[in-house]
Amino acid sequence: MSQGRFVVVIGTQWGDEGKGKIVDLLTERAAAVARFQGGHNAGHTLIVGGEKTVLSLIPSGVLRPQVACYIGNGVVLSLEALFTEADMLVARGVPVFDRLRIAPNCPLILPSHVALDRAREQARGAEAIGTTGRGIGPAYEDKVSRRALRVADLFQPARFATKLGEILEFHNFVLQHYFRLPPVDFQQILDAHLAAAERIRPLVVDVTLELQRLRARGANVMFEGAQGAMLDVDLGTYPFVTSSNTTAGYAGTGTGIGPCNFDYVLGIVKAYTTRVGAGPFPTEVHGELGDRIVDIGHEFGTVTGRRRRPGWLDLVMLRHAVRVNSLTDIALTKLDVLDDFDTIRVCVGYQLNGEELQGFPDDAETLAGVECVYVDIAGWKQSLRACRREADLPREVLVLLSLVEQHTKVPVSVVGVGPERDDVVLRGASS
Ligand code: GDP
Ligand code: IMO
Ligand code: MG
């Protein structure tokens, strides 16, 4: 990045593509990282010098002392999760409070949102979405229905108490009379939030204005997506999605930055695919082969510990992600997980009732019914871990990279060859 750039980094699949690692890597040359959607349903893993840090809410630039960390208005904020994570980092010697800044218009996640999320999932039984149980969906519902309490409300105690009373009356009615569950306690929630208000007060700033100032002085800023494009509430595999817009366009809305201010959109793509929770998954691999991918890739949820469902790389889905995010670059991660495979499969087309589908199905039932057309690539059968330059990559890897580029028309600028910050090959990334 020679001059100031605003770069959006988003997941292109169903999350856990390695966004955190790539954001951490690229912030070496950035002044700030901003989160723009989701909440603490995210789990972003950074490994630096063998030390592992998992972040759910605080942007993945936090390990770099010069980097400011912003939580934009598009994020739904649990104060409890925020301070637990910040205190964990401070205890490990990472300064947080002088660099973390939060938008006043972030909606709050309340304990009743968590109770509603879990109650709803339980009631769905076999039809459950498989949410992270963090209250994300109910919190976004309240934002859209104009009932939400927002960070700025914390500083007006009387108004906060009134609005909290109103919203809890509604939540408790649903909990008690629809789900037959105990209510949440108004006073306890009020006291906890008013106490936290004093801690959060110095962190609350006009995030939009600060980002615009950074833009004006030519600074590099990364906009860190959470989840992945297929979990987008509008463009993903609805209803098996999260409750926010995870695609690149929301980087603007979720921080208050207009669309013309972004220079690059880097899509993070795992060299295979995983999904946590329910929903259609055309390239899913079952049985021993799937277990092998899960074992080698350590594919267990960072937030909930759930086993991630494994599958092959899906270029039909990726083409959809390219379109809906206007990707300018791709980072292909976790290639090293495939080191020992004899054959690596890549889905290049979908068929429905024997006919090739054009485009990506917009409903979950159709997607569940497609048959994949695969290209098989010979495995490289050697460790990629020490590769640092394009010339170090085996021929078979280059075949895979060109297949991805040919089908997406987007350059693969970054290749992930291990979990550590420096385990990458940079191929002349344009950003
Ligand atoms: P995120 O949610 O997109 O940030 O991804 P997660 O952190 O949930 O999951 C990605 C996992 O893969 C983490 O355990 C990372 O440490 C790890 N990881 C990231 N990139 C690579 C890579 O290139 N190779 C390997 N082996 N692991 C990676
Ligand atoms: P990162 O940022 C993978 C999934 C859940 C569930 C669906 C809805 O680490 O990639 P929610 O709690 O958001 O209402 O759950 O979305 N999900 C994720 N899957 N990675 C994530 O985040 C996810 N965040 C939510 O498993 O299927
Ligand atoms: Mg994750």
Q: Please report where in the chains the tokens 């080698």 appear, as a residue.
A: 296
pLDDT average, residue stretch 189-208: 97
The model's confidence at residue 359, banded by pLDDT at 50, 70 and 90, is confident
Instruction: Give the model's pLDDT for residue 374.
Output: 98
Task: Tell me, using a 6 A CB cutoff, whether residue 129 lines ligand 2.
Answer: yes
Q: What are phi and psi of 301, to 5 degrees?
A: -55, 135
* Residues above pLDDT 70, as percent of the chain: 98
Asked if 48 and 264 touch (Cβ cutoff 8 Å), the reply is: no
Ligand 2: centre distance to CA 242 (Å): 6
Instruction: Give the model's pLDDT for residue 431.
Output: 41
Asked if 309 and 275 touch (Cβ cutoff 8 Å), the reply is: yes
Find how far residue 381's CA is from the centre of its chain.
31
Asked if 70 and 210 touch (Cβ cutoff 8 Å), the reply is: yes
Ligand 2: centre distance to CA 71 (Å): 18
- State the closest ligand 1 atom to the C-alpha of 298, by its place in the atom list counted from 1: 14
Pull the structure tokens for residue 45.
């893993």
Span 265-304, pLDDT tens digits:
999 999 999 999 899 999 999 999 999 999 999 999 887 7
Query: Which of 266, 367, 365, 376 has the alpha carbon at shortest distance from 321?
Result: 266
- The residue whose CA has the least distance to atom 21 of ligand 2 is 227
Q: State how far the alpha carbon of 97 is from the alpha carbons of 58, 223, 386, in Å.
A: 11, 20, 36
Span 147-167, pLDDT tens digits:
999 999 999 999 999 999 999
- The residue whose CA has the least distance to atom 27 of ligand 2 is 277
pLDDT average, residue stretch 185-208: 97
Task: Tell me, using a 6 A CB cutoff, whether residue 242 lines ligand 2.
Answer: yes
- State the closest ligand 1 atom to the C-alpha of 44, by its place in the atom list counted from 1: 4
- State the closest ligand 1 atom to the C-alpha of 337, by its place in the atom list counted from 1: 26
pLDDT surpassing 90 at residue 63: yes
Is 16 a catalytic site residue? yes
Instruction: Give the model's pLDDT for residue 170.
Output: 98
Instruction: Give the model's pLDDT for residue 302.
Output: 81
DSSP structure class, residue 62: T
Span 384-430, pLDDT tens digits:
999 999 999 999 999 999 999 999 999 999 999 999 999 999 997 44
Task: Tell me, using a 6 A CB cutoff, whether residue 416 lines ligand 1.
Answer: yes
- The residue whose CA has the least distance to atom 11 of ligand 2 is 131
pLDDT average, residue stretch 240-254: 98
- The residue whose CA has the least distance to atom 15 of ligand 2 is 131
pLDDT average, residue stretch 220-245: 97
Span 299-350, pLDDT tens digits:
998 877 899 999 999 999 999 999 999 999 999 999 999 999 999 999 999 9
- Report the alpha-carbon distance of residue 169 to residue 176 in Å, rounded: 10
- Report the alpha-carbon distance of residue 182 to residue 271 in Å, rounded: 45
- Report the alpha-carbon distance of residue 194 to residue 200 in Å, rounded: 10
Instruction: Give the model's pLDDT for residue 362.
Output: 86
Our mutation pick for probing the ligand 1 site, out of 275, 333, 384, counting the most ligand atoms within 8 A of Cβ, is: 333
Our mutation pick for probing the ligand 1 site, out of 37, 54, 293, 334, counting the most ligand atoms within 8 A of Cβ, is: 334
Instruction: Give the model's pLDDT for residue 31.
Output: 97
Q: What are phi and psi of 397, to 5 degrees?
A: -65, -40
DSSP structure class, residue 337: G
- The residue whose CA has the least distance to atom 14 of ligand 1 is 45
Instruction: Give the model's pLDDT for residue 3.
Output: 52
- Report the alpha-carbon distance of residue 32 to residue 211 in Å, rounded: 9
DSSP-assigned beta bridge partners for residue 377? 344
Residue 387 neighbours by CB distance under 10 Å: 21
- State the closest ligand 1 atom to the C-alpha of 42, by its place in the atom list counted from 1: 2
Q: Where would I find the H helices in 229-380?
A: 250-253, 287-297, 315-325, 364-369
- Report the alpha-carbon distance of residue 31 to residue 313 in Å, rounded: 33
- Report the alpha-carbon distance of residue 266 to residue 333 in Å, rounded: 12
Instruction: Give the model's pLDDT for residue 61.
Output: 95
Task: Tell me, using a 6 A CB cutoff, whether residue 277 lines ligand 2.
Answer: yes
Is 44 a catalytic site residue? yes
DSSP structure class, residue 327: -
How many CA atoms lie less than 13 Å away from 395 in the CB half-sphere? 1
One of 24, 40, 44, 153 is an active-site residue; which one?
44
Q: What mean pLDDT, rounded, does the chain reach?
A: 96
Ligand 2: centre distance to CA 240 (Å): 10
